[in-house]
Structure 1
Amino acid sequence: MLYEEKIIETIPVGPLGLIPLKGCEELVGKVDKYLVDWRNERESEHKTSIAFSGYQRDSYIIGANTPRFGSGEAKGEIKASVRGDDLYLIVDVCNYSQTYSLCGMVNHMSPDDHYQDLKRVIAAAGGKARRINVIMPFLYESRQHKRSGRESLDCALALEELVDMGVENIITFDAHDPRVQNAIPLKGFETVQPIYQFIKYLLKNEKELEIDSDHMMVISPDEGGMSRAVFFSNVLGLDMGMFYKRRDYTRIVNGRNPIVAHEFLGSSVEGKDVLIIDDMISSGESMLDVAKELKSRKARKVFVCATFGLFTNGLQKFDEYYENGLIDRVLTTNLVYQTPELLSRPYYISVDMSKYIALIIDNLNHDASLSELLNPTGRINKLLAKYRAGIRD
């Protein structure tokens, strides 16, 4: 049985409310449509009871603004009553396309600006909501998750701050280091892996793949992403390889030790399709170096899969590598801002996560378990069985 067709067994925590922060309107619009359709079609004898008041609506989106004064300071405001609601605030801290005016100058919003706006909207709720949940696909400051010397622990501080403001659940995707949840051990924290969606969209666009250990391999571009690649390879029944970065620790360039070489650990990739799995593409330098190394080892096709496609250095290098046959496909999700230029690239596949987010919200609103949603093994096996049988959706 599909999750969206499930029988209602528990009453909702409260009337559902979705609040998209600035730049998240398109994604939340898709999530809202799924929820509206499911709840209008779902049958239950309890839907007319008072506990289900507001269960079926034309939209669950609640408008919120964060207008700014001329000085650049801002405030949060919510445009409807949220008393007793189960609120889900969705924020994309990486959406640099959003702007605001500061003393007559146009500024692009940084992750810090988006995070402050999130806190402003939480504060605007004034403690009246039944429960506040934050869906933050790219976890704010997740790259500063551990201390090396005299450094701040920004991600842990942010999580503690949100919990102190009354947030009960934080949902993120592919956290850079899931252990950061140790900062808030008594609150709900889920880091979700979009493995099923990657496989689904790859199989939809590549019709002639043979998914077995003789023809395909999963590659981790560094030692930090090993657990992600191990899970991916185990679910698909594939072999795994890993590159590790040999760095020059005698000097620092752009705030980090430069990479001298990528060393490979694993069996031969000759003639195989390879999936390079990582949590994000920032500049893309590591991914492209790894793709080049794999092609030099005679890999057949190279697919790059990353949850977050930031492309901080632009797309020129990716275009060159595609034209030279060093990469075949790049898959990233729509959980962060995607430029029109990226969406137009022939090698790019956008992985839509809106249905998955809607399922998570629906389950949480009913206080139901997320275990089945967080473990995609069964769904992946069904998908692979259909693909091998020649059934193409």
Structure 2
Amino acid sequence: MSAATDVPAASSPRGFKILSGTANQPLAEEIARSLGAELCKVTCSRFADGEVFVRIDENIRGADVFVVQPTNPPGENMLELLLLVDAARRASAARVTAVLPYTGYARQDRKDQPRVAIGAKLMANLIETAGADRVLGLDFHAHQLQGFFDVPVDHLYASPVFTNYFRRKGLKDLVVVAPDVGSAKMARGFAKRLDATFAIIDKRRPKANVAEVMNVVGEVEGRDCLIPDDMIDTAGTVSEAARALKNLGANDIYVCATHALFSGPAVERLSNAPIKEVVVTDSINLPQERRFDTLRILSVGDLLAKAIRFTHADQSVSVLFE
């Protein structure tokens, strides 16, 4: 066989295996369907004391293995990822790629207080030590996480999924509103792709998970507004932002976020806020009790499947965002 045929074509699902833990198996199954493949058979169980046990039930020797597992709480999701990567390495996989639809501990990316851990760096070290040769991540909370790994990292964005959805809505005179200064660059990107104008909210955060909106910079009166963010945790930021925009005369208000953590009072806050629609992705497997009438869930399965195809064929995934 010539060198040109040693690497499977990007259109072929042969030569790689898709593994999944229990954190988001529906997404892993959708990725496999998009690739025309089946999930590799894996046993994920618990001992009587709660200890995590994993076993790969197929031969993966020499295969290009992709382990799909978001690392949102609880901590067992991270443990499953580490054990699956380790099992794949010990089963003689040719290459192991950790596919992280959501990367936990990304907010702990610096030492901003005395005597605190840099959790993001610790998690990166653990993933590498387990045996990952590469990482595919989706919308890291902080882009500098790419530098925390000493293995190649492909950082994917869910923005094409959102922009396609909102283009189909045909919203007129749309304003994309950054919920805080840190989201300004992302919001400008949305505004450019949707031919919208841009506004920003000046926000103070007195303490963690508590947001206080100060004022809105930009014209929003009588216009539809879109508030994009990378994640919604307790929903304090977006709910207060929506109220501030409504008080200034905004028309319909939409919120979009890649990762729907929906912790604590999030569902109640979003349900009571003046938001027409909350649009998220399935990067996290959201339980039924955290869903509500104005929630719309978009799939990133096809996006991740394309990235896996390109990675398997040693092609750049950046073409997905050009």
**Fold-level match, TM-score > 0.5?**
yes
**Aligned CA distance change for structure 1 residues 257 and 198 (closer, same or farther; 3 Å):** closer
Which residue number corresponds to residue 193 of structure 1? 157
Which residue number corresponds to residue 31 of structure 2? 31
Which residue number corresponds to residue 310 of structure 2? 363
Residues 1:176 and 2:176 aligned together? no
Residues 1:155 and 2:120 aligned together? yes
The one of 239, 242, 255 aligned to 1:291: 242
Report if aligned partners of 1:10, 1:366 keep a CA contact under 8 Å in 2: no
Residue aligned with 1:361, SS: helix
Map Cα deviations across residues 78-120 of structure 1 (whole Å, 9 max, x no partner): 10111001000011223xxxxxxxxxxxxxxx43211111111
Residue aligned with 1:218, SS: strand
Matches within 5 A, 1:1-393: 11-12=7-8, 15-36=15-36, 59-94=37-72, 110-125=73-88, 126=90, 128-148=92-112, 149-184=114-149, 186-204=150-168, 206=169, 208-210=170-172, 215-248=173-206, 256=208, 258-259=210-211, 261-312=212-263, 313-321=265-273, 326-343=274-291, 345-375=292-322
Q: Distance in 2 between matches of 1:168 and 1:222?
A: 35
**Aligned CA distance change for structure 1 residues 257 and 169 (closer, same or farther; 3 Å):** closer
Offset, 1:180: 1.9
- Structure 1 alignment gaps of length 5 or more: 1-7, 37-58, 95-109, 376-393
Map Cα deviations across residues 17-38 of structure 1 (whole Å, 9 max, x no partner): 00011132211111111111xx
**Aligned CA distance change for structure 1 residues 146 and 349 (closer, same or farther; 3 Å):** same
Q: Distance in 1 between matches of 2:167 and 2:117?
A: 42
Offset, 1:183: 1.8
Report if aligned partners of 1:17, 1:88 keep a CA contact under 8 Å in 2: yes
Residue aligned with 1:237, SS: coil
Q: Distance in 2 between matches of 1:151 and 1:258?
A: 20
Q: Distance in 1 between matches of 2:236 and 2:244?
A: 12
Q: Distance in 2 between matches of 1:88 and 1:281?
A: 27
TM-score, structure 2 normalization: 0.90
Offset, 1:65: 2.0
Report if aligned partners of 2:282, 2:297 keep a CA contact under 8 Å in 1: yes
Offset, 1:257: 8.5
Which structure has the larger Rg over C-alpha atoms? 1
- Please, what is the CA RMSD of the aligned residues? 2.1
Offset, 1:303: 0.4
Report if aligned partners of 1:10, 1:367 keep a CA contact under 8 Å in 2: no
Map Cα deviations across residues 26-71 of structure 1 (whole Å, 9 max, x no partner): 11111111111xxxxxxxxxxxxxxxxxxxxxx3311222322212
The letter for the 1-side match of 2:284 is V
Report if aligned partners of 1:12, 1:367 keep a CA contact under 8 Å in 2: no
TM-score, structure 1 normalization: 0.74
Offset, 1:199: 2.1
Report if aligned partners of 1:221, 1:278 keep a CA contact under 8 Å in 2: yes
Question: Number of paired residues?
Answer: 312
Q: Distance in 2 between matches of 1:354 and 1:129?
A: 23
**Aligned CA distance change for structure 1 residues 340 and 257 (closer, same or farther; 3 Å):** closer
Offset, 1:270: 0.8
- Structure 2 alignment gaps of length 5 or more: none
Q: Distance in 1 between matches of 2:318 and 2:137?
A: 15
Q: Distance in 1 between matches of 2:205 and 2:262?
A: 22
Offset, 1:164: 2.7
Report if aligned partners of 1:342, 1:348 keep a CA contact under 8 Å in 2: no
Q: Distance in 1 between matches of 2:289 and 2:165?
A: 20
**Aligned CA distance change for structure 1 residues 339 and 201 (closer, same or farther; 3 Å):** farther
Q: Mean alpha-carbon deviation: is it higher for 305-314 or for 9-18? A: 9-18
Q: Distance in 1 between matches of 2:179 and 2:130?
A: 38
Q: Distance in 1 between matches of 2:45 and 2:296?
A: 35
Offset, 1:76: 2.1
Residue aligned with 2:234, SS: coil
**Aligned CA distance change for structure 1 residues 243 and 129 (closer, same or farther; 3 Å):** same
Report if aligned partners of 1:16, 1:60 keep a CA contact under 8 Å in 2: no
The letter for the 1-side match of 2:85 is I
Q: Distance in 1 between matches of 2:86 and 2:133?
A: 14
Offset, 1:258: 4.9
Offset, 1:339: 2.4
The letter for the 2-side match of 1:335 is S
